[in-house]
Amino acid sequence: MYDLEKSNSSVAKLHLKMTVSGVNLVKRKTGRGMSRKENTPVIFLKIKEYIRTKNILALQEYLKTVTPEDVNVKLPRSGNSPLHEACIEKEELLLNTLLKVQGIDVNLKNEDENTPLHYFCAKWTSPDYLTSFQLFIKQGANVDSLNSNGETPIFKAIFNPSIRALLMEALIEKGAKLNHSTHKGEGLLHYAVRLNRADLVRLILQNRPSLDLNIAGETPEKLAVSMNGSQSIQKYLQQISELFKWLDDNDLEELKGIFVKSEITLDLLPDITDDLLKQMGVDKVGTRLKILKACEKEKEAGKYSSAKAGPSQKDEISTDLIGGLENEFQGAGEGILDGNSFEYLKHLGTGAAGDVYKGLYNGNIVAIKVLSVKSAEKEVDEFKKEFEIFRAVRHNNVVKFIGVSMKPRLCMVMEYCGRGSLYHNMKDPAVEISWSRAIGFCKETCQGLKALHGNNPVILHRDLKSLNLLVSQDWRIKLADFGLSRFATAENLETMKQMRGTYQYLDPEVYNGGTFAPASDIYSTTVIFWEIVQRVLTGTYWQPYAEFKNLHYDFQIIIQSAKEHLRPTLSPGCPKSFEELIRKGWAPLQVDRPSLDEIVCKLEAIEEEYKNNQQEWDGLRN
């Protein structure tokens, strides 16, 4: 995850920096004409009255009488149309009402040549943005309209403090061009680098795989280095640059987009197979053979390897940030390790605050979580909180904590679970998951969660999902990733009211203003139960809510689950006892969900039912 709060707070500074560096951003001219009744067209007075009274019926009645000239009139000084003002005021009902008026011109430009869609992309903050956006498109909004700085709406969306990624994806889906440069020579990718947002860099490159130069002759990678940007952005751009060169050298440049979208980097070349290329969408047999031949050359040369060296020994987190941690960890009286004794064997993945490696410590295989050298105070604080959670809980179904090291890098060492996450096991068609194993997974998840909830004070996980359940070599479930977990204490009360976690698994009562509670973790666990049961019944993995093709974004899912009580679809062949358990577990209200003891008791009954009806249950599987 990225520190959006920190990113948002620095947007003003970034605007200033970009202006100084030659990227002059347009400032909106305020609609001061609205304060002078003698110069203000009637429709703006009606809008002002609506904003004051919220009487939409009166406004609708008035709009039935207007002509296209009335609804497309502009304010004298700013040149804003009624649509511009509705976007600026962020009035959803007003905007949607105007967008339905016959003859409305959604492409009118103001004095700065911004269209209403420019302002919508810059200022709209509601996750319920899609209805308004689709109305813009239905009315013929030009997603590539230029303002006086040469910026299209997507250049405004990238600065939106709340829903920038959602808006950018929506614009891209509607054909927004990503190869455009502003009058100052800056491309969208350079904007993303300046914002220090690796997620946006990935989004842009996945849809337009090109590393253009800006007017100063800087590649995005060079710009990231010159701005001392995040290590993840620099590393990712370096990987993309190397990948593009390899594809160019092998006359495969037309496949750049496919390779970027499939997240293929050079270290994965030795692992590419014909089946993988088919899954990636490489349909031509000749092209697949050409790729496999090129990959085989690299494999024989031993040039690229999936193993990754350990983290840099020379880079350390600021001593200002970790100064107090060493005393705190030493005061814990246990688990302080010598980081120089670790051997890093393989890079397993990159998370919000750093990297995870498979490693060796005292002759044992372990997992080593290394905090990024660029981590801010927030990441260090969450690292500390995760350490506190790990120290408080010892259980066979919770990942075992081994210790921390402060030097040469801030690391946390845990037991290594050789089979990876439950999510990846369910996604792998080669992994057999029987009813017996599935019921065991469910029971062990509950036992691990009971260890958290049974602690004094209670520990709430707050991010339970199949990706955060690890599977040991002997097929035992282990709860992991406690970065968002918190002790349920009075001092954490405000934190418990904030939405955290993955929206497909998030308790809808929290979205509706409630507080995280043990029942919130039970809701998340129930969604995992659904994933497991669905995998057993169909033999394939189903992402929660994937069957609802109209839900493209996570925010849509949490809104539908909270407001409309939408839930993942249970297969017709689901055993009645499992169906009843799942429906109770994801009940809309926390008070209606069963306790962990009740769930475990029900699972034991389900297990007994399966043993007595094994042939019938196995017959339900595809």
| Catalytic machinery residues | 463
| 420 dihedral zone (left: phi>0; alpha: psi -120 to 50; beta) | left
CA distance 99 to 93: 10
CA distance 425 to 431: 6
Q: Which two tokens stand for residue 513?
A: 């203003």
Q: 176 Cβ partners below 8 Å, 6+ apart?
A: 143, 144, 152, 153, 154
- Residues 520 and 510 sit within 8 Å (Cβ to Cβ): yes
Q: 144 Cβ partners below 8 Å, 6+ apart?
A: 152, 153, 175, 176, 177, 180
Q: Which two tokens stand for residue 206?
A: 């996945």
Residue 498 burial class via C-beta count within 10 angstroms: exposed 0-12, middle 13-18, buried 19 and up: exposed
CA neighbor of 173 nearest in space, from 207, 149, 139: 207
Number of C-beta neighbours around residue 492 at 10 A: 15
CA distance 199 to 236: 10
What's the farthest any 2 CA atoms get from each other in the chain? 85
CA distance 463 to 482: 8
DSSP for 199-246? HHHHHHHHHS------TTS--HHHHHHHTT--HHHHHHHHHHHHHHHH
Instruction: Name the residue with tokens 């970034």.
Output: 14
- Residues 416 and 401 sit within 8 Å (Cβ to Cβ): no
Sign of the dihedral through C-alpha 317, 318, 323, 324? negative
Instruction: Name the residue with tokens 């008791």.
Output: 601
DSSP for 355-411? EEEEEEETTEEEEEEEE-TT--HHHHHHHHHHHHHHHH---TTBPPEEEEE-SSS-E
Beta strands in 80-136 (DSSP E): none
3-state SS class at 554: helix
3-state SS class at 334: coil
Sheet of 401-405: strand order equals 343-350, 354-361, 364-371, 411-415, 401-405
Q: Which two tokens stand for residue 397?
A: 């179904």
Pairing of strands 469-471, 401-405: unpaired
